[in-house]
Structure 1
């Protein structure tokens, strides 16, 4: 039996709440300490968004949620925890005090990660009882969707603990980027800070507004960076000659006076108010929760597109999704699929479009095929089942974020024929949303014509059909 994992979250703000959601929705028990009297409400709202968003990334149901609890002391929170994530304010004296409390109680092999965006791990480890236990694990908001974790240790860090931390982060769908040497602000925030400084000058000099700068990013290089990063993007820009040509062509630009990055504008009250006013004009009509929901939907749609292409964060999702795929259990009917409807499956009417019903029933049929032995290896060897006819009935609306189940009976299974009757139900109340009568024939992928299935597959199909006739 797999050990139940426990995460302790010290500091339940935006980042701490995101960490809590990431662990909780991946089946971990989560304990939280935060002296803020509004902590439970705030974390509850973050969890509400996470429960809506994260399951839509995957084509299989997430694990059953772990247990969530709030505690009055750091000691009570961290005792027995496997992972301890510190997300307290960016003050070194506060962090050192928290680490002393944590290490007086926690297990010696527990991982203590810090969400710090600025401090180096050597600074965090100063004066600690067990310095090698503390490491930087810097996430990006929202932690429950974005996978990058900048992971930084020191020469005092326990290599085995760093390796285990990487494995655990990967197990909950995150991408631990091992930073080779500690440096102020790590890697990603140094890029962000450079862009931020340049943006401040563009606003101060009246060249662009906050909205215009955001448009330059989201309609241009931001999308390129999301799927290819910086250097791979520039390699493509070099054409057939590649990166060397790009450097030869654009390298001289580095000597041109294009940037003021070495000269930072003073962030005066006037400039701060100008930025705030422009930002209010840009998106002040939306609440922070509405903006978060909008952000989450955009990220989900983009990352699912990358998932279909098997690139960047989409490749990571595909690997994590393999660990979520359940083994189909025999039953009458069979529970052939459980999943959440993603936001990119809806149309202008706000409900799931017709084509996606076909995809859900097709996915359910593939699970049945795998159950009878016509799995990926079988297909790779040149044999499969092709759908030749479907009859779908749409009985009720289905919306983004809804969890659904498909219940399947094999109503015909003899020779080349395989027929399935699917019912798609809303998971929370069992209401039937749609049905599909799907008729398939066994084919050779070499000739693209019908042929008899392998004897062991034929036998399992016939047995399943007989069981479902009862």
Structure 2
């Protein structure tokens, strides 16, 4: 188990701690704030509920989060050190100096800075400068995969690749920013929208809620799965981006925006924006808003995952690295997962159709065990479900940890029968059972036929092992 040190336990530092811990890393936190443990505990509670719902497999065993009395104690054994202290270069410089004294010589150091360039921080970082990179994430760190990785010219390519491997391993997408620039890439784009939004409020054109609605009901949905340039490529029609630029490019000369101006943050403007924001969502406390945000993000990310595109494609790739070897237990453990938030119905519990999906996923896990996997299907063979009987025994809710065990009750010739049990946690309530009958089929003739000899042999051995289970 590897170790991550988190220096600064605010919103971003707490998100990093949760992401690393839920991906199986030991986490050591240093923050002089006496409330740090409570605050990170609240973040961890939300993360532990939300992140596992993204995946159809179990996450690694959770790593321990320990709060340290000193920075030296926190970084002493760390493979990765993530600095997330306030955006003051004098404070960051002092922190890096102390990290350099106490961290291992091979530890990588990331800074969550949203504005400073790496060279500005490396100049005063001493011995750790060749291992210090900007690793700028987005809130909530435990759900959003993007991290802007800005190494600057002082960090060797092999160190950058090592950093990418670590970040990819915890389910993030390291966007390698090859040139130094203030605020990197994403925050520069965000600042442009933010600046214009402030003017719209100040000039009385729109309220904070109306601006948010223009984003979440419109282009925000497009951006979530296609970004900016692909969106505009489609807007160009069959002629593509060239036509779009030819048609709309001249509009850039029109005085539509005020991107080169900044409104003065007078007390009146602050009060106006704060008052509208309170009217918009002040009836919800911060934890309720975070939970609402997390549930929405889980549903959106899982929708993209189902389509195998954008951030969903990243989830699929990461999930493959989390899959463990098929169970050899009797009965077999074929599913260990969390119930996603988008699987619930109007009663607030898991829809009955999703029980069928869990049992279907369980049978697919067994198929992998006997060799009837993706390659087998590509070669023209598969098992089709002919009959299913599901008994629903108890309610199951979003976020519940469930486990399915499977027994082969018949494995002769082209016939296969499975019996599944689904429980809340390994030792919890029995939630449902499923008796599933399948037939082996040729995908060329679409008719039943015996499985190939190697699959038949594995299935017969498994049926013998499961006799009497």
Identify the residue that residue 275 of structure 1 maps to in structure 2: 273
C-alpha displacement of 1:331: 2.4
Encode CA deviations 1:121-144: one digit per residue, 9 max, x unaligned: 111112222221211000000000
- Contact 2:111–2:134 (CA<8 Å) still a contact in 1? yes
Partner of residue 321 from structure 2, selected from 320, 323, 336:
323
Number of corresponding residues: 467
Check whether the contact 1:108–1:133 (CA below 8 A) recurs between aligned residues: no
Whether the aligned pair in 1 keeps the contact of 2:387 and 2:438 (CA below 8 Å) is yes
Counterparts of 1:29 and 1:204, CA distance in 2: 47
Q: Give the SS at the match of 2:140.
A: coil
Give me the TM-score of the superposition, normalised by structure 1: 0.98
Tell me, in whole angstroms, the C-alpha distance in 2 between the residues paired with 1:377 and 1:59.
20
> Does residue 124 of structure 1 match 2:121?
yes
Q: CA deviation at 1:429?
A: 4.1
Give the whole-Å Cα distance in 2 for the aligned partners of 1:324 and 1:157: 30
CA contact (8 A) 1:385 1:441 kept: yes
Q: Say whether residues 1:43 and 2:40 are aligned partners.
A: yes
- Give the secondary-structure state (helix, strand or coil) at the position aligned to 1:104: helix
Match of 2:214 in 1: 216
> Is the contact made by 2:403 and 2:426 (CA closer than 8 Å) also made in structure 1?
no
Q: Is the 8 A contact 2:388 2:434 kept in 1?
A: yes
- The question of 1:250 aligning with 2:248 is answered yes
- In structure 1, the residue corresponding to 2:428 is in which secondary structure? coil
CA distance in 1, matches of 2:410, 2:2: 44
Residue-by-residue CA offset, 1:41-91 (whole Å, 9 max, x unaligned): 000000000000000000000000112111011111101210000000100
Q: How does 1:391-470 map to 2 (within 5 A)?
A: 391-427=389-425, 429-470=427-468
SS of residue matched to 2:240 = helix
CA contact (8 A) 2:134 2:150 kept: yes
Q: For 1:196 and 1:369, how far apart are their aligned partners in 2?
A: 51
Indicate conservation of the 8 Å contact 2:84/2:111, yes or no: yes
Alignment correspondent of 2:12: 15
Counterpart of 2:334 (choices 333, 336, 358) is 336
The residue that corresponds to 2:70 in the other structure is: 73
Superposition RMSD on alpha carbons, in Å? 0.8
1:133 maps to what in 2? 131
Match of 1:357 in 2: 355
Equivalent residue for 1:59?
A: 56
In the alignment, which residue of structure 1 is the partner of 2:223?
A: 225
Q: Unaligned regions of 5+ residues in structure 2, if any?
A: none
Q: Offset of 1:428 from its aligned partner?
A: 5.9
Q: Tell me, yes or no, if structure 1 residue 102 matches structure 2 residue 99.
A: yes
> Could you tell me which residue of structure 1 aligns to residue 260 of structure 2?
262
Deviates more, 1:123-132 or 1:288-297: 123-132
Structure 1 runs of 4+ off > 2 angstroms?
none
**Aligned twin of 2:88:** 91
* 2:152–2:178 Cα contact (<8 Å) kept: no
Partner Cα distance (1:216, 1:122) in 2: 38
**Which of 283, 289, 292 is equivalent to 1:291?**
289
- The answer to whether 1:171 aligns with 2:169 is yes
SS of alignment partner, residue 394 of structure 2 = coil
After superposition, the C-alpha distances for 1:169-211 in whole angstroms (9 at most, x for unaligned) are 0000000001011100000000111000100111011110000
CA distance in 1, matches of 2:92, 2:305: 38
Give the 3-state SS of the residue equivalent to 2:102 in structure 1: coil
1:197 corresponds in structure 2 to 195
